[in-house]
């Protein structure tokens, strides 16, 4: 069984036991969170795909595993012939979620 959920403007395919990195979610590590109302599709064990109106009560429960920061990405701006160069780095914050159960 798996589900397609949307959080932070991105879509993720999740199954029970999976760990995903999403944009920061409020809460302390160990806290249970639910992704209700943002479940886009569920593929059941009987290979039946549920989408649309049939998912109004669907929920995906997850536990916050940790908060962290991603790898550094170098941003380099350059304009030729103008002696303009700028180098900055960026590290995106994330929350690791461990999917515990999917209910349709």
Q: What span, in angstroms and rounded, lies between the C-alpha atoms of 56 and 36?
A: 9
Domain that holds residue 70: 2-103
Of residues 94, 103, 73, the one with CA closest to residue 8 = 94
Tell me how many domains the chain contains.
1
| Mean of pLDDT over the chain | 91
pLDDT (mean) for 85-96 = 96
Q: What angle is formed at CA 89 by the lines to CA 72 and CA 9, rounded to 5 degrees?
A: 65
pTM over 0.75: yes
Do β-strands 73-79 and 10-14 pair in parallel, antiparallel, or remain unpaired?
A: unpaired
pLDDT (mean) for 65-69 = 96
């Amino acid at each position: 069984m798996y589900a397609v959920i949307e959080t932070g403007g991105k879509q993720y395919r999740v199954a029970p036991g999976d760990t995903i990195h999403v944009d920061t979610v409020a809460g302390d590590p160990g806290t249970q969170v639910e992704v209700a109302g943002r479940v886009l599709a569920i593929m059941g064990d009987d290979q039946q795909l549920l989408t649309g109106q049939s998912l109004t009560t669907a929920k995906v429960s997850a536990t916050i595993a940790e908060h962290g920061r991603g790898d550094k990405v170098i941003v380099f701006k350059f304009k030729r012939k103008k002696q303009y160069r700028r180098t900055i780095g960026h590290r995106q914050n994330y929350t690791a979620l461990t999917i515990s159960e999917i209910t349709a």
